[in-house]
Structure 1
């Protein structure tokens, strides 16, 4: 597919009024009447009369009279009549505009049979795929014909305005439990202090899940499950997403149901449009969950405007791939014991002894007893975690070259104190298998290995605030903490 630049188009259009140039235009793009607008091409040709009528009724006629450059894909009278009954004779204005607008593209795209797929955005904010001389698999009978404000192609079959993944599953599989769950996220009710209720789309749900189903500039593959399997997976994941918020309370976006559904539904989206031959491999959902699909479990497949939908009986997925490990990066603190030690705090990009780049934080010579950096582990499941840490020191240029100890403390919401540090005494099992209220993190010179720190229980889905604290006035060095769930 060859796409012409706007400067080149302007130059070509300037030639339209000069006889010596008009032949060159036709040679480069194709034949046609460059003196007519696209609107006139449609209305002056009897074989396009059906589309001309739809164009007038759609309200897009004025656009095709304008000087702006377009690509028009014109279905013949026979092509329009073949689909008229599918659109209830185009009596619905929304359906009519969708059909006509799908055939109008807001730039100039010529056809080249030797070129791979190019996506062209049409008036309906959908993308028509130009693939090796065909439009959405429809081969034109005439192509690259010129008009005064663009080019046009004639097709023997009308292009089919496809629904997005979101619209397709909401319309065609609305009775399934999975799709009912998707629908339940459309709005979230919040209650103001005065009792007024406000409806809004939940931003976390939108960015993590729904946006993938609706955006047209990227392709996805979406899997729709049998009710029995969906319910099994929901019930399996629910205990790991438990919260204390009431299901009918003022925080519907923080309940066990909310987090469980969001996690499960995010596991069903894969980036890219997958063909049947792609399903044999291990797939990776946008959530990071790995799974497989058996060909015998595929019930049907459906093309959409932004990808493909597979209706399946079930997926093959392990709990260990759904309840994931979490990393907290040293370079992402959310606060400090006090904020006057910026000059002693270094965010470093270094190479280890293996030549690998890594980023860490070093807080050195701060002269504050029990100084600490505050962190937050997010989206932790309700499970016991093994905690590992990595901190490297003693390399060339490091001010710290001898072994030292630092500590990791976890927030305990049951504690009450005016002193912040006293709130961070959640019970843990340390690396000596002893009950404690902190984990000891010993940092040895030039040690690139992770250090096992102990175990901590997360008893509510969500955040776990923590401190990395110095031993006396000693240093703090941290590349990351890694939380590994202990699963049955």
Structure 2
């Protein structure tokens, strides 16, 4: 009886196993059928996508979707494509941009975003994809996979968006003209034809007229608004608002001539209206700190329009009202971060130190130059930009080693200048010391020096600097 029961049980198990194998075989068969198709074939064989298939053929993307690379397609169905304008349909380049806006490299399923993915399309623009949406289009169907990717069907056409600069260029606001005026010509060595080397500098000599490209001071400074790979928040001011900001700043950015002053006033206003990172309206804070560290107040009641672009958001505002004190700020340089010395053979006499301030209990770094025996030895610091405003100059020079007093002098542009008097460097003084006043003749960069006493005596022509700072005196 037991043997008979075991045989029956074995038979049941075999049958169950065979049925399980058949079920697995059916699933495998379905998967294999899908994996034998390409995206081009799947779209071609889907009746509701016949219009999109026609556009694929017309633009050549059908051949792309026949390839072995992986793609994801968000295809508008036939009913949706009825809304596509004739201007796009009849313009080969616009049509190619439109179709390419619905295709990306690699496979993206609805469980991919977390919660939203920003993905570069085949036309170079970016789209945003979530579990339920492609940009502002809803998903009619999703996650149909084939050998070379995934197909989703959407209920709205998604036209390529302008990027920030394309949108600004399409407006009539003065800010566009002010940015265009910041263009300049430069040489791209990769595109220029080299015809020799300068015998003195050994720098390449290029054939005149080759490799010339147009660059822009604003884009160089804060980021290229045409760059689709970077997201921005950009403030586009009304004409009255941008002119008010320029007029407020113009007295402090006086250049060598009027044209330079005009360019500088534009650059130093607009540079702080370009913010890296995309702030949605609901996420805009009360103020934003620009790339240059300038605090820009955001009055949401002054926003008169909002434009979403392919690489960020443009807020059109009727005011900016950036404080001069936030724009024109103290210029501080750490002593231990010099740009050079009057001689290069004294490295053994230069110490970069980590010290302890006994008054505050805080550590600090400084530079200490000793026993160099060179009259008027100096250390150099390049200051990139000073506004045309009076500055008071201070330094901290702790002199926590020597017992012999020494003197040092601050100088700007000429280390031999005596516009600043020599200043005593007392022992163990951790406070700021006023060393003089300075008024730039015009806006621009300067070179600052800390100069040793005019003697070669050990311990009496040392140099010591924790930091120095130029503090603007605004009206």
Equivalent in the alignment of 2:117: 118
Secondary structure of the structure 2 residue equivalent to 1:222:
strand
Counterparts in 2 of 1:72 and 1:409: CA distance versus 1, 3 Å:
same
Q: Are 2:254 and 1:242 aligned?
A: yes
Deviations 1:182-224 (A, max 9, x none): 122344489x9x997996434643221451x222233221111
Counterparts in 2 of 1:58 and 1:457: CA distance versus 1, 3 Å:
same
Deviations 1:223-246 (A, max 9, x none): 111211211211221121112246
1:81 CA displacement: 1.9
Secondary structure of the structure 2 residue equivalent to 1:267:
helix
Q: C-alpha distance in 2, partners of 1:448/1:222?
A: 43
Secondary structure of the structure 1 residue equivalent to 2:65:
helix
Deviations 1:63-96 (A, max 9, x none): 21111111111111222222x11x6142222211
Counterparts in 2 of 1:196 and 1:62: CA distance versus 1, 3 Å:
closer
Tell whether the 8 Å contact from 1:390 to 1:479 is kept in structure 2 after alignment.
yes
Equivalent in the alignment of 1:453: 435
Equivalent in the alignment of 1:71: 72
Counterparts in 2 of 1:187 and 1:203: CA distance versus 1, 3 Å:
closer
Matches within 5 A, 1:18-33: 23=27, 33=34
Equivalent in the alignment of 1:58: 59
Equivalent in the alignment of 1:385: 391
Equivalent in the alignment of 1:218: 230
Of 289, 293, 296, the residue aligned with 1:284 is: 289
The range that moved more, 450-459 or 350-359, is: 350-359
Q: C-alpha distance in 2, partners of 1:145/1:409?
A: 72
Q: C-alpha distance in 2, partners of 1:272/1:318?
A: 23
Of 227, 230, 251, the residue aligned with 2:242 is: 230
Tell whether the 8 Å contact from 1:166 to 1:210 is kept in structure 2 after alignment.
no
Equivalent in the alignment of 2:81: 80
Q: Are 2:303 and 1:303 aligned?
A: no
Counterparts in 2 of 1:374 and 1:43: CA distance versus 1, 3 Å:
same
Counterparts in 2 of 1:389 and 1:132: CA distance versus 1, 3 Å:
farther
Counterparts in 2 of 1:196 and 1:38: CA distance versus 1, 3 Å:
closer
- Gaps in structure 1 of 5+ consecutive residues: 1-18, 248-254, 413-420, 428-436
Counterparts in 2 of 1:483 and 1:44: CA distance versus 1, 3 Å:
same
Deviations 1:381-427 (A, max 9, x none): 11111122234453xxxx65766432211226xxxxxxxx43x34x3
Matches within 5 A, 1:80-479: 80-82=81-83, 84-85=84-85, 88-112=87-111, 115-171=114-170, 173=171, 175-188=172-185, 200-202=213-215, 204-211=217-224, 213-245=225-257, 247=259, 255-279=260-284, 281-349=286-354, 352=357, 356=362, 358-392=364-398, 394=400, 400=402, 404-411=406-413, 421-422=415-416, 424-425=417-418, 427=419, 437-438=420-421, 440=423, 442=425, 444-445=427-428, 447-471=429-453, 472=455, 473=458, 474-479=461-466
Q: C-alpha distance in 1, partners of 2:434/2:263?
A: 33
1:46 CA displacement: 1.8
Tell whether the 8 Å contact from 2:103 to 2:122 is kept in structure 1 after alignment.
yes
Q: C-alpha distance in 2, partners of 1:24/1:349?
A: 69
Counterparts in 2 of 1:41 and 1:370: CA distance versus 1, 3 Å:
same
Number of aligned residue pairs: give it. 430
1:322 CA displacement: 1.7
Counterparts in 2 of 1:262 and 1:276: CA distance versus 1, 3 Å:
same
Tell whether the 8 Å contact from 1:102 to 1:122 is kept in structure 2 after alignment.
yes
Q: C-alpha distance in 2, partners of 1:188/1:119?
A: 34
Q: C-alpha distance in 1, partners of 2:210/2:252?
A: 30
Q: Are 2:436 and 1:485 aligned?
A: no
- Gaps in structure 2 of 5+ consecutive residues: 1-22, 188-204
Tell whether the 8 Å contact from 2:186 to 2:215 is kept in structure 1 after alignment.
no
Deviations 1:153-187 (A, max 9, x none): 1111122311111111111x2x2111111122344
Deviations 1:297-346 (A, max 9, x none): 21111111111111111123211112222222323323212111122223
Output the aligned Cα RMSD.
3.2
The range that moved more, 353-362 or 325-334, is: 353-362
